[in-house]
Amino acid sequence: MKKILKDRFFILGFFVVVGVVIIIFRLFNLQIVEGQQYYEYSQRGVLQERIIKAPRGRILDRNGIPIAVNRMGFSVQIAYVKMSAEERNRMIFNLVQIFEKNNEIYKSLLDDYFLYDTMEFGPKIKDSQDKAYSWAKEIGLKIEKNVDITPQYIFKLLKQKYELSDEYEDKDAAKVIKVCYDLQIKGYSIRAPLTLIKDVKWETVAEIEERHHELPGVTTDWEPFREYIDSFYVGHILGYIRGIDADEYEALKSKGYGYNDLIGKTGVEKSAEEYLRGLDGKRTIEVDTNGRFYRNLSYTPAEPGKDVVLTIDLRLQKAVYESVEKNIQRIREKGGEGNFGDANAAAVVVLDVKTGEVLAMLSYPTFDPAIFLAGAGNKEAQQKILELNNDSVNTPLLNRPIQGLYAPGSTFKPLTAIAGLEEGIIKVNEIIRDDGIYYIDGMKFECLEYRHGLGAHGNLTIERALATSCNIFFHILGKETGIDNLDKWAKNFGLGEYTGIDLPGEYKGNRNSRDYKAEMFHEAWYPADTAQAAIGQLFNQFTPLQIANYVSSIANGGYKYTPHVIKRITDYDGTVVKEIEPVFEKIPVSEETIEAVKKGMVAVTNSIDGTAVTVFDSLPYKVAGKTGTAQTGRLNESDNGLFVCYAPADNPRVAIAVVVEKGVWGSNTAPIALDILKKYFELYDIKNVSDSAKSDEVVFTR
């Protein structure tokens, strides 16, 4: 029995010894023989997902001229790497020094709360101790009881929180704190790096790669960046992109938008966001423990955004801008009665009367959307944006063609004629007499010619009344037609109504009506009100786009189109995804009425007593138009000048509306329309040279 137990112990001991020998051999093999190989495996065994940003779709003019494109640039990212606070701070300090050396501007979220350079609280908490206290507690600062929360105190706590040693001067510690704060607030991990700064210089990338051993976790990647070309001329149409804000992010995160994404804020960049935005790709890579790339494991390419082709002709748009700038200066210098030399802004709309396409649309003064592409840390750019936002005199960010509200003045008279004819108040050749003075409800109305000693117009038909822009004729006709009928036909032609244009932020405006006066002023409507409404005054306020579309509807025989600035959507390879078809409704107006009004508008620019006669005589075909002067009601301020037209008169193709704020007289704005038509005819080769050329002189100011 003892021998059996002894044999068993011997056998057991043998296996134990063998096992230990095997383990020792294996450990020797792993650590000594194959140690370097397994060390390398351990250093590159972390998976990381990186987003491949999709290029935003291009925006082109109708001829394929690029306005918004993309270019490739580099971004700096940081992934979590296990290290001490001292090592982390040293790494961040090294990185910040590289940024500063290459003039890279780093913008931190901390700037909204704490500004070291001026040692004061940021804009989000500077007006409240309670806000400062809440923010400090929220980010984990250990605030002592009964202490005054000052910027100096907060800085001290931030240094403690992020474990900044005394080896850093305060100004250097502040730079490190900014990055540490962003890492805390935005979050980052070894699998999901955080983008610190975008669109850095090649010198920055090269130095980061060269000094990667000093920058554990810091990597560079490339991505597309928006770039604008000649965007100054189409600023309000194009719009701009900026970083997504908190509200937008909450609303759109379910659609795949990220915290750092850019999004269209205004213009086509906003209205076509769903097409312009591409689909981000993704790649899974293997990195070492310092976050350095080792190899790709999987790859899903990004899908570029769709291209947007505009109806805008950039060549015509530039001509519009140049003419407006030239003529505003001319008007300011011209002088004369009622001219205070204060013309400073304008709106122009050019429509294709057969499709509703917007060929050109200018809001002056304009702005360059490229300024909004500058990073948040670009102080010069941010100052310029601040100036644009705060300019209450010129309001350059206001999109005047769709957001400017103006009394139409005498450009409304064709509508009064339409209402009178359609309601049977007057016949085409029926006479209304202008004796220079007319009384309604005890209110005295005067013909402008009579007031200036030129006598009254006498007997007038609709054609001559439109040509001479006789106020008395339309006061009388409007009173007989009635405000309800004027309101009805103004609505039929889209005045004071949304046009439905494919741009964000369109204003509706308002029309003269009993209801409007009662709601706004709690007063009854009187016949004298109708007399004023009939010449486009009182409460009428329309956008230049509405006015242009109304004139276009006259030109094309009563078809009211939905104006649009997007012509088609295409894939990056040119395949048409969506073609924008014309949308219109037929206005219930007779052909006879339209023809009568057209004759009057042709007479404006062609009859001997027309208010814009000879302006367009240099063109090889006739132009139908209407001047308008609208009082602003402000002392020592010039009236607004308006001009509308369409051409060629016998086969209309294009309609134009021009508004010059404080332009004094409507006829002052007609030369802008002349320049536009010349350029349009030049571009589209419309030939009909039967008429002889004449002087461009404007002979009547109205």
Give the integer Cα–Cα distance in Å for 401 and 28: 81
Q: What are the start-end ranges of the E strands in 477-618? A: 559-561, 566-570, 576-579, 584-586
Residue 611 is classified by DSSP as T
Structure tokens belonging to residue 232: 């100054």
205 band by pLDDT with thresholds 50, 70 and 90: very high
Q: What is the CATH number of the domain that holds 364?
A: 3.40.710.10
The answer to whether residues 552 and 656 touch, using CB atoms and an 8 Å cutoff, is: no
Is 39 within a domain?
A: no
* Opening angle at CA 655, ends 688 and 265, nearest 5: 135
**Three state DSSP letters for 104-161:** CCCCCHHHHCEECCCCEECCCCCCCHHHHHHHHHHCCCCCCCCCCCCHHHHHHHHHHH
Residue 665's SS3 state is: coil
Percent of the chain at pLDDT above 90? 68
Give pLDDT, residue 380.
Answer: 85
Domain that includes residue 29, residue range: 2-33
Give pLDDT, residue 175.
Answer: 96
Categorise residue 633: left if φ over 0, alpha if ψ from -120 to 50, beta otherwise.
left
492 band by pLDDT with thresholds 50, 70 and 90: very high
Contacts of 188 (CB under 8 A, 6+ apart): 78, 79, 80, 194
| CA nearest neighbour of 544 among 494, 595, 586, 585 | 494
**CB contact burial 110-127 (16+ within 10 A = b; e otherwise):** bbebbbbeeeebbeebee
| CA nearest neighbour of 614 among 553, 687, 693, 680 | 693
pLDDT of 312 over the 70 cut? yes
Is 691 within a domain?
A: no
696 band by pLDDT with thresholds 50, 70 and 90: very low
The answer to whether residues 62 and 294 touch, using CB atoms and an 8 Å cutoff, is: no
Structure tokens belonging to residue 144: 């002592």
Give pLDDT, residue 693.
Answer: 31
631 band by pLDDT with thresholds 50, 70 and 90: confident
User: Which tens digits make up the pLDDT trace of 104-143?
Assistant: 989 899 999 999 999 999 999 988 888 999 999 999 999 8
Give the integer Cα–Cα distance in Å for 74 and 197: 9
**Of 43-52, 125-134, 632-641, 667-676, where does mean pLDDT reach its minimum?**
43-52
Mean pLDDT across the stretch 510-518?
Answer: 95
Q: What is the mean pLDDT of the chain?
A: 88
**Of 135-144, 288-297, 410-419, 611-620, where does mean pLDDT reach its minimum?**
288-297
pLDDT of 2 over the 60 cut? no
Is 443 within a domain?
A: yes
691 band by pLDDT with thresholds 50, 70 and 90: very low
pLDDT of 182 over the 50 cut? yes
Mean pLDDT across the stretch 539-548?
Answer: 97
Give pLDDT, residue 271.
Answer: 97
SS3 content of the chain, % helix, strand, coil (to 5): 40, 20, 40
Give the integer Cα–Cα distance in Å for 409 and 471: 10
Is 579 within a domain?
A: yes
| CA nearest neighbour of 243 among 265, 226, 275, 268 | 265
**Of 54-58, 146-150, 157-161, 654-658, where does mean pLDDT reach its minimum?**
146-150
pTM: 0.84
Is 151 within a domain?
A: no
Give the integer Cα–Cα distance in Å for 171 and 153: 15
Give the integer Cα–Cα distance in Å for 667 and 628: 8
pLDDT of 34 over the 70 cut? no
Counting the structural domains of the chain, the total is: 2
Give the integer Cα–Cα distance in Å for 159 and 170: 9
User: Which tens digits make up the pLDDT trace of 429-440?
Assistant: 999 998 989 999
